[in-house]
Chains A and B, each alone.
Chain A
Amino acid sequence: MECVRFEASIQALIAGSPKLEELEELVEHCKVCRECRGIFEMHRTLTDLGSRFDELESPDLEGARMSVLEQLTPKSRSRSAHGWLAAFWSPFTFRPLTATALLVIVFVLGLAVSRVGERSGYMERKTADEDFLSESLRNLGNSPYTFSNVGVRYLDDNTISLSFDIAKRVEIIQPARSELVKGILTRSGINPAATGVVGHFRFN
Chain B
Amino acid sequence: MRRSFPFSALIYVILTTTSLVILYPLLFMVSATFTSTAQYYRTSFFPIPDFFDLRNYVPVLLDCSQGCIYQAMLTTGLREAWYLVWMLIISIFGGYVFARLRFPGKNALFLFLLSGLMVPDILLLLPLYVMLARWPLIGGNDLLGQGGSGFVNTWPALFILGMVNVLALFLIKQNYEMIPGEYEEAALVDGAGTLRIILQVYVPMLRPALTALSLLVFIGIWNDYLGPLIFVGGNKDITPIALTVQRLIYGLTQRQAETIADFPLIFGATTLMSIPPIVVYFALQRYIVQGLVGVGIKG
Genuine A/B complex:
no
* Chain A positions near chain B (C-beta within 8 angstroms): none
